[in-house]
Amino acid sequence: MRFSSAPLLAAVFAVTIAASAASVGDPAPEFTGTDSHGQPHRLSDSKGKFVVLEWTNNGCPFTRKHYESGNMQNLQKEWTARGIVWLTILSSAPGKQGYMTASEENAYMDRVHAAPSAAILDPTGAIGRLYEAKTTPDMYVIDPSGKLIYSGAIDDHPTPDVSDVPLSKNYVSAALTEAMSRQTIAVTHTRPYGCGVKYSDND
Examine the pLDDT at 19 and tell me if it is beyond 80. Answer: no
Domain count, the chain: 1
User: From CA 185, how far away is CA 180, in angstroms rounded?
Assistant: 10
Q: How far is CA 135 from CA 37, 57, 153, in A?
A: 25, 9, 9
Q: How many CB atoms are closer than 10 A to CB 5?
A: 8
Does residue 137 sit within a domain? yes
If one compares 89 and 17, the residue with the highest pLDDT of the two is 89
* 43 located within any domain: yes
The parent domain of residue 157 ranges over 27-196
- The mean pLDDT value of the chain amounts to 90
Whether residue 14 is contained in a domain is answered as no
| Domain-embedded: residue 31 | yes
pTM for this model (two decimals) = 0.88
Residue 5 lies in a domain: no
Helix axes 71-80, 61-68, angle to 10 degrees: 60
pLDDT in tens, 24-83: 999 999 999 999 999 999 999 999 999 999 999 999 999 999 999 999 999 999 999 999
Q: Is residue 74 part of a domain?
A: yes
pLDDT digits (tens, 9 = 90+) for 113-159: 999 999 999 999 999 999 999 999 999 999 999 999 999 999 999 99
Confidence bin at 202 (pLDDT 50/70/90): low
Query: What's the CATH number where 167 sits?
Result: 3.40.30.10
**How crowded is residue 38: how many other Cβ atoms within 10 Å of its Cβ?**
10
Residue 138 resides in a domain:
yes
Residue 88 lies in a domain: yes
Q: How confident is the model at residue 107 (pLDDT cuts 50, 70, 90)?
A: very high
